[in-house]
Amino acid sequence: MTPEPANRPVALITGASAGLGLALAHGLADRGWALVIDARGADALKEAADALADRTDVVPLAGDITDPEHRADLADALIELGRVDLLINNASYLGPSPLQKLADADLDELRRVHEVNVVAPIALTQAVLPQLAASAGVVINISSDAAVEAYEGWGGYGATKAALDHASRVLAEEHPALAVYAVDPGDLRTAMHQAAFPGEDISDRPEPATVVPAFLRLLDQRPASGRYRAAEFAPAVTS
C-alpha cells in the first residue's frame, strides 16, 4: 500500500496487531489519527488494519522491529505521509516462558530481550526523530512495574524496561521540545502476560482497551516528560 500525504495527526505504533498496541490503534483511529502500524505477523497485522480502515488511513508494515531495513521502511512510510506526531514503542519480548531466574537465564535469549525492548525502540526513535522534532511530537515507551519492582523471574525483562525508562528520561533532556513518556499500563489480559504465567487463569486482569482512555488523557494533558502509570490518568484503572 502506498500511503497518501496525511492532513491529520499521524502515529506510528509498534506491536499493533494485538493487545495494547491494537487497542491504542483503535483509540487513536476513533479520534481520526492516521496510523502506521507494525507487527511481526503479516496475517494478524492485515486483519488489524482491515478493522481500522473504515475509520482512518492506516499503513500496515509487517516485520521485525530489530531489523534495520524494517525500521527504515517504517520511517519511509512516515516520510511519504509527510509527518509523525506520535511514536508508541509498544513491541516487546518477554523472553522464555516459563520465566527464568537470572542464574539460569539463557544468555542468547537475554540478548534478544534487550535487542527488542531497548535497542530497537532507541533505533526507531533515531530514525523518525527529525519528523518528531518538526511536529514537537510525543514519544511513548511502554514500560512495566517490573522496571521498578524486583519480581522473581522478571530480571531480564524488568532490566530492559528499566533501561528504556532511563533512555526516555535522557531523550527528554536532550530534546526538550518533545514530550517523552515511559508509561506503565498495569497488568493486562494479553498474550504476553499469559506467557509470563503459563497455565494460570489471568481472566481477572483488565482488557487492554480499558487503559486506552488513560493514554488519550495523557496525550490531551501533555504533562512534563517522565515516567507515569496509566492509573494516574484514569483512577478507575487498576495497575
Residues with a known catalytic role: 157
- In angstroms, the CA 206 to CA 161 distance is 21
224: left (phi over 0), alpha (psi -120 to 50) or beta: beta
Give 88's DSSP letter.
Answer: E
Length of the chain: 239
Judged by DSSP in three states, 146 sits in helix
**Contact status, residue 17 vs residue 48, Cβ threshold 8 Å:** yes
Q: How far apart are the first and last CA of the chain?
A: 38
Q: Are strands 138-142 and 86-89 parallel, antiparallel or unpaired?
A: parallel
**Secondary structure (DSSP) of 17-53:** SSHHHHHHHHHHHHTT-EEEEEES-HHHHHHHHHHHT
Sole residue written with cell 544468555:
107
